[in-house]
Amino acid sequence: MSVEVLDAATIFNFVEDEEAFNVSIRDRFARLDTDHDGLLCYAEMLKELQSLRVFETHFGIDVKPDPDELARLYDSLFMQFDHDSNGAVDLEEFKEETKRMMLAMANDMGFLPVQMALEEDSFLKKAVERESKRALV
Ligand SMILES: [Ca+2]
Ligand SMILES: [Ca+2]
């Protein structure tokens, strides 16, 4: 976990770099798919859902959400990923929904950079890392 400054452009640039984005998606998917069946079940997705920073966006940073509320939130997030409602998230669903969520988040941010605590190898963290590498070139 590290605190990074994130802005909408960082997210847009990351998502629009198709190749880099696809590599991170496949990478992340493979890591979450602990039984290697090519699908993410709810338990496997939970780790990802927890790294989406829904705390901050839904409850504000200082609020500890109540566990029931949180479980409902994760349920509904999982259903959002599972486009064909077959109870599992495949690579294509994972990619599409991650992209959609990241773009929605970037849109919400507007022009002001925000500080966020990001988990190592979350997509947002990758976006930040990619942006700082670009800045060095
Ligand atoms: Ca699996
Ligand atoms: Ca599905």
pLDDT for 57 beyond 60:
no
Structure tokens at 62: 């200082």
CA 5 / ligand 1 centre spacing (Å): 33
- pLDDT grade for 25, boundaries at 50, 70 and 90: very high
CA 100 / ligand 1 centre spacing (Å): 22
- pLDDT grade for 47, boundaries at 50, 70 and 90: confident
Ligand nearest to the CA of 38: 1
CA 40 / ligand 1 centre spacing (Å): 4
Ligand nearest to the CA of 39: 1
| Stated pTM of the model | 0.83
CA 4 / ligand 1 centre spacing (Å): 31
CA 47 / ligand 1 centre spacing (Å): 13
Give 96-118 pLDDT, tens digit per residue: 999 998 999 899 888 888 888 88
Q: Kindly state the greatest CA–CA separation across the chain.
A: 47
Q: Please report the domains of the chain, with CATH numbers, ordered by start residue.
A: 2-136 (1.10.238.10)
Give 58-95 pLDDT, tens digit per residue: 555 556 678 888 888 889 999 999 999 999 999 999 99
